Amino acid sequence: MYNKLIDHTILKAFATEADVNKLCAEALEYDFASVCVNPVHVSLASKLLAGSDVLVCTVIGFPLGANTVAIKQAETMDAIHNGAEEIDMVINVGKAKEHNFDYIYEEIKAVVTSAQGRLVKVIIETCYLDDFEKAEACKAAALAGAQFVKTSTGFGTGGATVADVVLMRGAILVDMSVKASGGIKTLDHLEKLVAAGASRIGTSAGIQIMKELKERGK
């Protein structure tokens, strides 16, 4: 069931409707967990995936996380109106660097509330944080009611690592989950991250990974 670990992703600034059509067709073919698209493509993806069990995921405050709380709330509500079923929000990384974790808690809580019961994944952008900051951001996400913490946007200076997944898994509640994303291109990398505690993988290389899986006879 490796396919159901994967959020099939296209978040490039130059992604077109044709790219989203292709992404959704691939997601249906391989029965991935979700497609993850920019907010402008949520409505299209929702229509293309209607009636399937492939979910529509989108990103909020992406990729910098520096939007105001009000804008993140508005983005979330708009995304849900357009058909989003999962929300991946970026925290205000600067506030985490300032150790203002009360702010981090409040913005996550605002998005969780605006998501109206939809699953919320909190992107902490690990490449910019030290271990203390990573752990505290994860704790804020737990207190705010998010269901997942997520390593990276894929637009920072680094992506998912085994060490970060282990740290994040240890910092959250038992009933929460970790999504690893950023630079995951191979089956070996995916398997190492899953073994470390990730239960969702965000990648634009889902097709290559599934082909590699088939070649290995798994």
Contact 213, 2 (CB under 8 A): yes
97 assigned to active site: no
Contact 148, 179 (CB under 8 A): yes
For position 218, what pLDDT does the model report?
67
Peptide bond into 39 cis (omega under 30): no
Q: Which domain does 13 fall in, by range? A: 2-215
139 assigned to active site: no
From the candidates 95, 121, 150, 164, give the one annotated as an active-site residue: 150
Contact 137, 129 (CB under 8 A): yes
Beta bridge partners, 201, equal 6, 180
Structure token digits, residue 98: 């300032």
For position 202, what pLDDT does the model report?
98
**Which CATH number characterizes residue 198's domain?**
3.20.20.70
- Which residues fall within 8 angstroms of residue 153, CB to CB, at 6 or more apart? 11, 59, 62, 63, 90, 123, 125, 181, 182
Contact 176, 144 (CB under 8 A): no
> How many independent structural domains does the chain possess?
1
For position 105, what pLDDT does the model report?
98
Q: What is the spatial distance between Cα 43 and Cα 48, in angstroms, rounded to a whole number?
A: 9
179 assigned to active site: yes
Q: What is the spatial distance between Cα 126 and Cα 106, in angstroms, rounded to a whole number?
A: 20
Per-residue pLDDT for the chain (218 aa), expressed as one digit of tens each? 899 999 999 999 999 999 999 999 999 999 999 999 999 999 999 999 999 999 999 999 999 999 999 999 999 999 999 999 999 999 999 999 999 999 999 999 999 999 999 999 999 999 999 999 999 999 999 999 999 999 999 999 999 999 999 999 999 999 999 999 999 999 999 999 999 999 999 999 999 999 999 998 86
From the candidates 109, 121, 134, 179, give the one annotated as an active-site residue: 179
183-20-41-43 Cα dihedral, nearest 10 degrees: -130
For position 63, what pLDDT does the model report?
98
pTM of the prediction?
0.97
Q: What is the spatial distance between Cα 27 and Cα 13, in angstroms, rounded to a whole number?
A: 20
From the candidates 7, 72, 88, 121, give the one annotated as an active-site residue: 88
Beta bridge partners, 178, equal 149, 198
Instruction: Looking at the chain, list the stretches that DSSP marks H as alpha helix, in order from N- to C-terminal side.
Output: 17-30, 42-48, 69-81, 93-97, 101-114, 131-144, 162-171, 187-196, 206-215
